[in-house]
Structure 1
Amino acid sequence: MKQRKRRLLTALAAFFLGLAVLLTTALSGAAADGKGRGRPHQQSAAQEIVAAMQPGWNVGNTLDAIPDETSWGNPRITPELLAAVHDQGFNSIRLPVTWNDHQGGAPGYTIDPAYLDRVEQVVNMALDEGLYVLLNVHHDSWQWIRDMPTQHDQVMARYTATWTQIAERFRDAPPELLLESVNEPQFTGSSGEAQEFELLDELNTTFHSIVRGTGGTNATRVLVLPSLHTNAEQARLDPLADTIAALNDPNIAATVHYYGFWPFSVNVAGYTRFDAETQADITGSFDRVHNTFVSRGIPVIVGEYGLLGWDRSLDVVEHGEALKFLEFFGSYARQKQLTTMWWDNGQHFNRTTHQWSDLSLFRQIQSSWTTDSATASSDQIFVRAGQAPADATLTLDLNGNTLTSVLNGSEKLVRGRDYTVSGDQLTIAAATLARLTEGQGHGVNATLTLRFNGGLPWHVNVITYDTPVLHNANGTTSGLTIPTAFNGDRLATMEAVYADGTNAGPQNWTSYKEFGYTLSPDYAAGQITLKPEFFAETRDNSTINLTFHFWSGETVTYTLTRTGTTITGTTT
């Protein structure tokens, strides 16, 4: 019954899509601007499809894994997984596929029929679940497509053969399937970006010609074209806009990726907070994408988003700061009419249990699809053990909401006694903090819930702490584990400088090292590990002075001595 219904819907959709193409083409031609970029007076079929895809989710590190579907630790894709993703509120999936290890050599570059069958099976499972699907050529971008500057004819022959086979296989798939020319296009050995723009234009236009030429639903299917590196800098958006204008096809969408302001996204150079500079990176990127494409009737898919540090650990970016990033990202993408597809390589949604690794991250994302939620300057209040606390003030970013109550569990705190509000300043009274932490040990003693008249609540941990204590340790350049009594505190970042004051370790343009890459705390085990990646870029026979910065505001210094491959760590 489901299949018959889908075939009927597909036929109807194809009819109306074709009709919309004719109407939109006429409108685009009549309302083109000076650069030939159309300004349709009504929403096109491509715009409607891309809007209906919001929100989307990437089945990352699976069919794009090398060499096989389970090689990077994820199980095979099942109908149950796709149903679970749909149940979470996602309306589309991006299906990254790497073809390289399943493809023969020249001249045919034949894709293994069993692999193509498997890809088609997954596409059909998703379509049967009612999901839109975005299918692409993924890690091939850096495996062989990037060699185009020096192996042009070979790369184009293989690219043409690859997309011809994919396009023919999916010729009659319903319009809910979209095709993306190449993931994160990049080139090695070029003469510069001017040549790279030309090469990408050739890839995108060849892809367009191949798919359209196979007929069937492919004649009007929405095709998705990336900028160079899927980057949102204006210098990389403009060449893509020119390509799309030259194609003069209303069923084209543009795509970029967004992983945040890089220093914040990986926690390097002291960018531990979602500050104005980090926020401005979002607004600048989305404004450029909107003005270049959306305002001209070309829909945009943010095909991947997240924080780069999450590839190592969800703790790389402090929890509350990550929530603020997700809230602002989702809200501004909604304002700019961008369809977003969350990158998940298995670190967020468990592919077996169908549970979220951090449910609060998902809830923040989910809420941002439709609603603006309030946040605060922090989700932590620190109270030193054995000392009378002072009042603690948080700055609220209300996002159009009003604070209605503050709760400790089921206890509703009393406004004017337990807390006060003045404009966007929320102050928790010293007496309230003393009561919440009285007789408690190190760590989270209470979690306050700030409720508002709209959106999600904001949670604030009240934490009792003492200055962390690091102990002497011995290790090698393969790693050093420092026994650490965190005493309720949490590590924010670390600085490393040589005795002469110059910066030590990777990213030597800053003293603040990349969290998760050079160092990693383990609160349960009571230790901080300095990784081999840190020591790989330090001088032999040197002294390195470390400063550990904690979220309470405490700093602790520590000294490393490197002699050959031997590392000695001492307290200072």
Structure 2
Amino acid sequence: MRSRARRVGLAFVAASVAFAGAVYGVTRPAAAEVVAEASASALVADMGAGWNLGNALEANNNGIPSETAWGNPVVTQALINRVKASGFRTIRIPVSYLGHIGAGPSYTVDAAWLTRIAEVVNYAHSQGLYVLINMHGDGYKTVTGSWLICDAADQTTIRDKYQKVWQQIATKFQGYNERLIFESMNENFDGQYGAPTQPCYSNINAYNQTFVDTVRRTGGTNASRWLLVPGWNTNIDYTVGNYGFVIPTDQYRSSTIPAGEQRLMISVHYYDPWDFTGQEDGAITQWGPNATDPARTSTWGQEDHLDAQLKKTHDAFVTRGYPVFVGEYGSIDKTTYDPSNNTYRADFARALVAAAKKYGAATAYWDNGWNGQHGFALFDRSSATVTQQGIINAIMSAVGGGTSPTPTASPTRTASPTPTASPTAAPGACRAVSTVSAWNTGLTNSIAITNTGATAVNGWNLTFTLPAGQSIVSGWSAGYAPASGTVTATNASYNGTLAPGGSTTIGYQASHTGNAAAPTGFTLNGATCS
């Protein structure tokens, strides 16, 4: 097993960057920033729990990307269906380009590679999931053919190549709705784990700015979709602290975006403490308040540290309306050294996701496809089955989705949650807001439901009428029946209670025959919604 290659994408920082004393500003948001923060909160809530399709489209052989180069099988729709059925609502798909980029000055990306990327994106996007794609391995000095190197001499050529590659990627996905998110790069830094160096950090900021400007100028949905940018090596301290990170300006975004809202997200990764999460010597196998053996537990990086790190991202970015995305976290399998290790891996995942939720951040577990010693995998990709149900349950309980049912059969396209509660009370008033994104013969609709009454709703049915020619093909966060005409959406097990003023967001994907209008006639437990 080439475990080092299988972990490309990890932040090897914890052991050498163990301090948490970076300076960062904590200020009360201005009025406009309060509006922006609300928009960010809605996005994070809708993204739910995330998962990485790691070591697939960023894998390479001698600098030529190939999804099977590091031992994983070809990605299938069945795998993505299983991930969705397990409760994940966001999938991050790391992508390398490397040798699939032609020579300058055009730097043409191989058409077949872009087509394959789109196929894998479609596996998740067609199921109503959020999807993130990035430029992953092109900035690693240790990868053959890497070129997005922040301390290389010829930055003019690098920036030109970077701009032209992202222009092609953005154009390829121009028509996808806003559930597709682009991430500028992954863990870019100069290769040493000390304090950031200049002008290397300045070049990273320049890459991020080029990325935002390039994507926005391609137009279409790209003018308004969410874009994700990292700081130095996606390290929290070096991103929130006074080390040089600059949030890009967003001057070319669509004029339809309210002035008080952002469309930029901040990317960080979390693998503290590394001796527990990634170090392969087997010495540290336990973590958290339930650890029973001090000799097997790291002397730092416990829950208090985790909470403090996530709070830093909240104070630096979330309060200003910029959502934070913990795009990678997780811990390797050390059960060969300690049979109880999976319990602590689940505790770590639960604590990370709970803290992220507390501080307004979304998350994506790092899964490299490897099951067994030193692996991060939650699924067997060949059989599309779950291998770490306990860790998945921990993630889902922390994000607010209950536990994921143990799968016994291959999931179908319409893997909507099965409601477990019957409506017992009608609200005095309600509000339902649709956000429709349409393309060709398909659309997605996100519906925000708010109880504006004075009493709690304990179990709900939301009824609405689809326009003629529309038919629901998949849905999330509710059960939907029938597929067309007057539809009733019934709460899932985890969102059936709406306190006064409380809200939840559900959604579905539908086909249409030319009419992509929003549904009408919303009622919640019989009460008409505004």
Coarse TM-score class (shorter-chain normalised): 0.5 to 0.7
Offset, 1:81: 1.6
Shift of residue 247, structure 1, vs aligned partner: 6.1
The match for 1:470 is none
AA of the residue aligned to 1:51: A
Over 3 Å counting, the alpha-carbon distance change for 1:354 and 1:313 in structure 2 is farther
Query: Which residue, 392, 408, 411 being the options, matches 1:362?
Result: 392
Q: CA deviation at 1:371?
A: 7.6
- Distance change >3 Å, CA 181–CA 287, structure 1 → 2: same
Q: CA 1:313–1:241 in 2, change beyond 3 Å: closer, same or farther?
A: farther
Equivalent position of 1:113 in the other structure: 111
Partner of residue 327, structure 2: 303
Q: Which residue pairs with 2:380 in the alignment?
A: 350
- SS of the counterpart of 1:72? coil
Change (3 A) 1:212 1:339: same
> Deviation digits for residues 7-63 of structure 1, max 9, x if unmatched?
xxxxxxxxxxxxxxxxxxxxxxxxx97999962335555543343112111111111
List per-residue Cα deviations over 1:174-208 (Å, max 9, x = no partner). Answer: 11111000011123699952322211110000000
Matched, 1:52 2:56: no
Q: Which residue of 2 aligns with 1:98?
A: 96
Check conservation: 1:238, 1:292, Cα contact below 8 A.
no
Q: Which residue of 1 is the match for residue 503 of structure 2?
A: none
Distance, in Å, in 1 between the alignment partners of 2:319 and 2:30 is 14
Matching of residue 255 in structure 1 with residue 255 in structure 2: no
Change (3 A) 1:191 1:353: closer
CA–CA separation in structure 2 for the residues paired with 1:113 and 1:312: 43
Question: Which has more radius of gyration?
Answer: 1
Give the conservation status (yes or no) of the 8 Å contact 2:150–2:201: no
Measure how far apart 1:92 and its partner are.
1.2
Pair 1:326–1:192, CA change in 2 (3 A): closer
- The equivalent of 1:501 in structure 2 is none
Aligned partners of 2:196 and 2:232 also within 8 Å: no
Q: Is the 8 A contact 1:38 1:297 kept in 2?
A: no
Q: Distance in 2 between matches of 1:212 and 1:359?
A: 40
CA contact (8 A) 1:184 1:230 kept: yes
Change (3 A) 1:85 1:178: same
Q: 1:405-444 counterparts in 2 under 5 A? A: none
* SS in structure 2 of the partner of residue 145 of structure 1: coil
Give 1:285 shift: 1.3
Could you tell me which of 46, 58, 77 is aligned with 1:64? 58
Corresponding residue of 1:285: 309
Report the Cα distance in structure 2 between the residues aligned to 1:36 and 1:151, rounded to whole angstroms.
41
- State yes or no: 1:156 paired with 2:159: yes
Aligned to 2:232: 228
The 5-angstrom pairing of residues 177-192 of structure 1 reads 177-187=180-190
Post-superposition shift, 1:358? Answer: 2.6
2:218 aligned with 1:195? no
Which whole-Å deviations, capped at 9, do the CAs of 1:379-403 have from their partners, x for residues lacking one? xxxxxxxxxxxxxxxxxxxxxxxxx
Q: Is the 8 A contact 2:151 2:199 kept in 1?
A: no
Considering Cα pairs closer than 8 Å and 6+ residues apart, tell me whether 1 or 2 has the greater RCO: 2
Distance 1:132 1:269 in 2: 35
Determine what percentage of the aligned residue pairs are the same residue.
Answer: 31
Is the 2:188–2:233 Cα contact (8 Å) retained in structure 1?
yes
Distance 1:311 1:213, change over 3 A: farther
What amino acid does structure 1 have at the position aligned with 2:247?
Answer: T
Q: Equivalents in 2 of 1:271, 1:357: separation in Å?
A: 22
Q: Supply the RMSD in Å over aligned alpha carbons.
A: 3.3
Whole-angstrom distance in 2 between the partners of 1:191 and 1:42: 31
Report which stretch shifted further, 76-85 or 211-220.
Answer: 76-85
The question of 1:174 aligning with 2:172 is answered no
CA distance in 2, matches of 1:158, 1:82: 32
SS at match of 2:356: helix
Change (3 A) 1:365 1:233: same
- 1:289-308 per-residue CA deviation (whole Å, 9 max, x = no partner) reads 1111112211111111102x
Per mean C-alpha deviation after superposition, the further-off stretch among 275-284 and 289-298 is 275-284
Q: CA 1:46 to 1:341, structure 2 compared with 1: closer, same or farther past 3 Å?
A: same
Mean CA deviation greater in 242-251 or 173-182? 242-251
Is 1:232–1:285's contact at 8 Å kept on the other side of the alignment? Answer: yes
Structure 1 unaligned regions, length at least 5: 1-31, 374-454, 456-572
CA distance 1:271–1:315, change in 2 (3 Å)? closer
8 Å contact 1:261–1:281 — kept in the other structure? no
Is residue 47–residue 89 contact of structure 2 (8 Å, CA) maintained in 1?
yes
Q: Which residue of 1 aligns with 2:22?
A: none
CA distance in structure 2 between the aligned counterparts of 1:230 and 1:338, rounded to whole angstroms: 14
Conserved 8 A contact 2:139-2:186: yes
SS at match of 1:328: helix
Q: Is the 8 A contact 2:271 2:278 kept in 1?
A: no
**1:394-414 alpha-carbon deviations (Å, 9 max, x no partner):** xxxxxxxxxxxxxxxxxxxxx
Aligned length: 342
Q: CA deviation at 1:288?
A: 0.7
Deviation at 1:69, TM superposition (A): 1.1
More helix by share: 1
